[in-house]
Amino acid sequence: MGKIMLVDGHSILNRAFYGLPLLSNAEGTHTNAVMGFLNIIFKLMDEEKPDGMVVAFDVSAPTFRHEMYKEYKGTRHAMPEELKEQVPVMKQVLTAMNIAVVEHAGYEADDIIGTLSCLFQALGEEVSIISGDRDLLQLATDAVKVRIPKTRATGTEIEDYFAKDVEARYGVTPAEFIDMKALMGDSSDNIPGVPGIGEKTASKIISEYHTIENAHDHVDEIKPKKASENLKNYYEQAQFSKVLATIKTDCELDFDPRDAVISDIMNSRSYELLKKLELNNILKRFDAAPAAEKEYIRAQGPVDATCLEKLCSEISGYDAAGIYTFDENGFAGMALYIEGKAPVYAVEGENGMDREAISGFAGKVISAAGCSCFMDLKNALHYFNGDVYDGNRAEVITSTDNEHLFDCSVAAYLLNPIKNAYSYDTVAMDFLGETVPSRSEWLGKDGLDKAYRDPDKHDKLENFLACSASVPVSARTVLTDRLSGTGMLGLFKNVEMPLVFVLYDMERFGIRANGDELEAYGRQLSGRIGELETGIYDLAGEKFNINSPKQLGVILFEKMNMPYGKKTKTGYSTSADVLEKLRGYDPIVGMILEYRQLTKLKSTYADGLAAFIDPADGRIRSRFHQTITATGRISSTDPNLQNIPVRVELGRLIRKVFVPEKGKVFVDADYSQIELRVLAAMAGDENLIQAYRDAQDIHTATASLVFHTPIDEVTPLQRRNAKAVNFGIVYGISSFGLSQDLSISRKEASEYIERYFETYPGVKKFLDEAVSSAKENGYSLTLYGRRRPIPELKDSNFMQRQFGERVAMNAPVQGTAADIIKIAMVNVSRRLKSEGLNSKLILQIHDELLIEADEAEKEKVEKLLKEEMENAATLKVPLVADVNSGKNWYELK
């Protein structure tokens, strides 16, 4: 063969596990050790270019060393469950890659490697041993290299040892390394050695006398005296330790050297397994389409309009059709799949189809097919022109009580909301058990336009388009059955699917931004930032880079001698938490905190928003996402309009930039304390419920009960503290967290929480039951049946389990609140259309809805908005929505 790599399986897997943060795939299988192991092996393979490889593993059965010494390795901690579960997975991956795996009861992996090393040396092979265990240094020779990897987040570093390197590092030969270990012992393996002799003394003794036997013959000459005396007294133990430390090189193994030959590592089996494990970085080593032996469905095309027209006419009567629309760099078209027929894709000429053509064909498919399936329906709606969306097919497209439309990504999200993405390949893997190459595997970084114009990439383009159109059809039944089985089919049909159209409308309409007002806001921020800079420099007594944590740390903790100075490798920590603790020590701290806030406002909003204003109509069209957050909340990007600041006046002023069109007005409604109301309803706590029914100020009422104070005598401080507890309880706040929020001792905070639970025992019972239920089932539930998986509850790490418990307390409440606002959005949008109003729902900000209304419709819209938000759910406590109107967003608050 030539070159052989012998790998110490458990050792490398262990180092990989601790070298990388915990990772897991959609099924919850941990994968960080497997990924780290493969990264190390491939790095070494790229360097070594071996002809053969063997990975040796320990087995759980006792070895001959345990039979000699029952305490052998007795001090080792149990393997973490997250690592233990990856051992069989690692073996499965290696077997799929056709890499030889060897294990044998009674022997350790070291012994197997020692034996194979001698075997391959005898055959004239060049051997490299890969292990994180320095015990294997005894196997190094002039021809055998021991390579010790160190895995870090930044990459893998490797130390190489031939015989001469061992001697240079430890002062002993590889054979003498055994005697050195026999003297010094090994706490990890529980090899006793000789008490009082450490690595330096052991190295010195063996380098001079070469063996423990010869050292014992000259024991009176050994210095220091303590080492001499201990060797005399523990000589038999040293000899025994030498036997334990010696790697066996003559194991009886049923192994054929030809099995080590590396052949066809990147094959269909290994591809499918790595795809299932979601080790995407490793998948880059495959050539996309040929990686698996499966014959993928490939689209025929591009077809002309006549062919597409004919196919559309044949759709009627078919159960389902898959539609994928695209437009990249002005190259637009659509792919279509009908069950039982080959997929097709259509473009028209070099520049693709126009939107009207795409919309026309898509509309015909939707009208005729039993169900039209999409991977991302909201995105596809942007390709449908007004005639299709608002015209004679509007009822088909926007109906919420039929089976005409199905969004695979939304269905997959409901079933597993903690994934990062819901693309056709992940849906195929998770719900069909099929391994389908992703877009990047088919096309790399190429756009569809580039792939279309490159004849060598037509096959891959056609495969990608076929997958995009066919997977939604194939997955629909499985997803529907799973949703039904988990009790979420109603949530999907009645809330999430209608919401797709509401979010599409919001993206289509956008919100108008006044560019001149935005510039003025930027100037206002710049002025205040300049004032703060001057004030900070005056108080510091010098100019410095305020944005540099290193320079700021020197000013605060060295020059100004402030407390809480925690120095790290890069300097003092100047995080917001640290600065908040320092706020009362010097005015400079408050200025720095304000400076940071305002510079962020300027870069994110004053400067950042300008890039998103459409010059055609002055509107900003944010993208809204319903498959991102695990609890069901909607998020927005490009730009994130849900994160507009409200707590600081200069932050709130950004809302003046957002204005309605001429002749229109903003109408806004915000739920009052919806999460606390949901908590009261779900917990069924009579005291909390009664406070809301009596329309009391909930924070004052809580303060009165917790602090045993008449309600009209509650102080502002008591109310503030009660408010922190009220909201903190929803998020499973700890006594430590509350003490930080209120700047009180942990004891006081603990007493506050205890009093709170005494006041509202139903809340305590509800939270405890939420955690125990999540531990038993693995997920939390909202009032509407939405599931939130919480794998952290079974994590071996205490901090992760604590986090999981907080999630279990909060997810049912936050998720139910998210469900309610979604229901309100659907109902508000539906009524605006059904009543023929010209007003549009344009924005959702967590618990707040914003409508751009015709001035003539203002009162009707205010009434409609309040009704639909307050009647979106029937709870044991009333839902209250505060309605306001104004000529800009700022006036609404």
Token readout for 184 is 């010094």
- For residue 680, the model assigns a pLDDT of 92
Return the percentage of the chain with pLDDT > 70, whole number.
94
pLDDT band with cut points at 50, 70 and 90 for residue 735: confident
pLDDT surpassing 90 at residue 430: no
Q: Which helix (H) or strand (E) holds 817?
A: helix 798-834
How confident is the model over 613-627, as a mean pLDDT?
94
pLDDT band with cut points at 50, 70 and 90 for residue 302: confident
pLDDT surpassing 80 at residue 731: no
Helix (H, G, I), strand (E, B) or coil at 246: coil
Q: Which long-range contacts (CB under 8 A, 24 or more apart) does 209-215 make?
A: 210/176, 210/179, 211/176, 211/179, 212/179, 212/182, 212/183, 212/238, 212/239, 212/242, 213/239, 215/179, 215/183
Quote the CA–CA distance of 773 and 133 in Å, as a whole number.
43
pLDDT band with cut points at 50, 70 and 90 for residue 232: confident
pLDDT band with cut points at 50, 70 and 90 for residue 393: very low
Strand pairing partners for 86?
none
How confident is the model over 675-685, as a mean pLDDT?
92
Helix (H, G, I), strand (E, B) or coil at 25: coil
Order of all β-strands in the sheet with 405-407? 300-303, 344-346, 331-338, 321-328, 372-374, 405-407
- For residue 284, the model assigns a pLDDT of 75
Q: Which residues contact 869 (CB under 8 A, 6 or more apart)?
A: 669, 671, 824, 828, 849, 879, 881
- DSSP-assigned letter for residue 22: -
Over the chain, what is the mean pLDDT? 86
Q: What is the dihedral of CA 439, 445, 448, 453, to 10 degrees?
A: -130
pLDDT band with cut points at 50, 70 and 90 for residue 75: low
Quote the CA–CA distance of 426 and 420 in Å, as a whole number.
10
For the chain, give the longest Cα–Cα distance.
108
CA distances from 18 to 6, 87, 134 (A): 22, 14, 17
Quick one: angle between helices 761-777 and 686-693, nearest 10? 120
pLDDT surpassing 50 at residue 475: yes
Quote the CA–CA distance of 311 and 299 in Å, as a whole number.
14
Cα 587–Cα 588–Cα 593 angle in degrees, nearest 5: 105
Q: Which of 12-21, 255-264, 301-310, 484-493 has the highest mean pLDDT?
A: 484-493
Instruction: Tally Cβ neighbours within 10 Å of residue 49.
Output: 11
How confident is the model over 724-736, as a mean pLDDT?
78
How confident is the model over 75-104, as a mean pLDDT?
87
Token readout for 187 is 């706490």
Q: Which helix (H) or strand (E) holds 332?
A: strand 331-338
636 in the Ramachandran plot: left (φ > 0), alpha (ψ -120 to 50) or beta? beta
pLDDT surpassing 80 at residue 65: no
b/e 308-341 (16+ beta carbons within 10 angstroms → b): beebbeebeebebbbbbbbbeeebbbbbbbbeee
Quote the CA–CA distance of 618 and 514 in Å, as a whole number.
7
pLDDT band with cut points at 50, 70 and 90 for residue 287: low
Q: Which helix (H) or strand (E) holds 460?
A: helix 458-485
Helix (H, G, I), strand (E, B) or coil at 76: coil
pLDDT band with cut points at 50, 70 and 90 for residue 387: very low
Q: Nearest to residue 365, comparing CAs of 411, 301, 319, 398?
A: 319
* Torsions phi, psi for 614 (to 5 deg): -75, 120
Quote the CA–CA distance of 776 and 796 in Å, as a whole number.
16
- For residue 156, the model assigns a pLDDT of 64
pLDDT band with cut points at 50, 70 and 90 for residue 408: very high
- For residue 293, the model assigns a pLDDT of 41
Quote the CA–CA distance of 852 and 666 in Å, as a whole number.
5
Per DSSP, the residues of 702-760 read HHHHHTT--GGG--HHHHHHHHHHHHHHHTT--HHHHHHHHT--HHHHHHHHHHHHHH-
How confident is the model over 539-568, as a mean pLDDT?
88
* Torsions phi, psi for 129 (to 5 deg): -105, 125
Which position has the higher pLDDT, 211 or 883?
Answer: 883
Order of all β-strands in the sheet with 100-102? 100-102, 52-56, 3-8, 126-130, 144-152, 155-161
Quote the CA–CA distance of 304 and 386 in Å, as a whole number.
24
Q: Nearest to residue 149, comparing CAs of 162, 141, 138, 158?
A: 158
- For residue 318, the model assigns a pLDDT of 76
Q: Which of 65-69, 232-236, 759-763, 775-779 has the highest mean pLDDT?
A: 775-779
- For residue 72, the model assigns a pLDDT of 65
How confident is the model over 464-482, as a mean pLDDT?
93
- For residue 396, the model assigns a pLDDT of 39
Quote the CA–CA distance of 489 and 369 in Å, as a whole number.
21
Quote the CA–CA distance of 35 and 13 in Å, as a whole number.
9
pLDDT surpassing 60 at residue 289: no
pLDDT surpassing 80 at residue 286: no
Q: What is the pLDDT of residues 113-123, one digit of tens each?
A: 999 999 999 88
User: Peptide bond before 761: cis, by omega within 30 degrees of 0?
Assistant: no
* Torsions phi, psi for 186 (to 5 deg): -150, 110
Which position has the higher pLDDT, 852 or 458?
Answer: 852
Quote the CA–CA distance of 205 and 163 in Å, as a whole number.
19
Which segments of 510-548 does DSSP mark as H helices, in order? 515-540
Return the percentage of the chain with pLDDT > 90, whole number.
39
- Identity of residue 856: A
Token readout for 344 is 């097709």
- DSSP-assigned letter for residue 261: B
Quote the CA–CA distance of 364 and 359 in Å, as a whole number.
9
Extended beta strands in 9-143, E state: 52-56, 100-102, 126-130
- For residue 392, the model assigns a pLDDT of 35
- For residue 351, the model assigns a pLDDT of 67
Q: Are 850 and 517 in contact (CB under 8 A)?
A: no
Kindly report which listed range (78-82, 413-417, 439-443) carries the lowest average pLDDT score: 78-82
pLDDT band with cut points at 50, 70 and 90 for residue 67: low
Q: Which of 154-163, 329-338, 569-578, 611-620 has the highest mean pLDDT?
A: 611-620
